[in-house]
Amino acid sequence: MTEDEVAAAGPAVFPHPPAMPVLATGDLLPGAPLLGAPTVDSDADGVADTTVAPWDDGLVLATDVDHDGAADVVTRVGPEAVVTTRHLDGDVHVEERPWGAPPPPAPSIDPRTGAWVRGRD
């Protein structure tokens, strides 16, 4: 086992950041800040993909699902424990779902195109 591997179950925490110097948040976080390099492997695939950082008066967790250097999901824990998660849906649309909101529609396959869709016409 190397020093970058963790024996405990759950997401691996890397003591040394990987080569990616920053994680861009784009439209997912106001002001589009660049956060530090990912240090947490949230999906246990062996690649650090999540950055945790203080932001304004809260905490931000930004995750790069496809390892392209840009955050795909941003979760913000604000004052009084208000939690908001935003994620990219495709290339442009940003969907925001406050904590406690009803779940999004289940994904399905569009019979006309064969593409996966989530509650859209």
Structural domain boundaries in the chain = 12-101
Distance CA 33, CA 31 (A): 6
Exposure class string for 10-26: b at 16+ Cβ within 10 A, else e:
eebebeeeeebeebbbe
Instruction: State the average pLDDT over residues 29-45.
Output: 81
Q: Convert the pLDDT of each residue in 39-98 to its tens digit.
A: 899 888 888 999 988 877 888 888 888 888 888 888 888 877 777 777 776 654 556 666
Q: What is the pLDDT of residue 18?
A: 47
pLDDT on residue 102: 78
Neighbours of 50 (CB within 10 A): 22
pLDDT attached to residue 1: 47
Residue 102 or 13, more confident = 102
The four Cα atoms 18, 47, 95, 92 give a dihedral, to 10 degrees, of 70
Residue 37: which pLDDT band, with cuts at 50, 70 and 90? confident
Task: Give the dihedral of Cα atoms 21, 24, 29, 35; nearest 10 deg.
Answer: 0
Reduced to 3 states (helix: H, G, I; strand: E, B; else coil), residue 36 is strand
* pLDDT value of position 7: 53
- Which of 18 and 115 is assigned the larger pLDDT? 115
DSSP character string of 90-112: TTTEEEEEETTPPPPPPPEE-TT
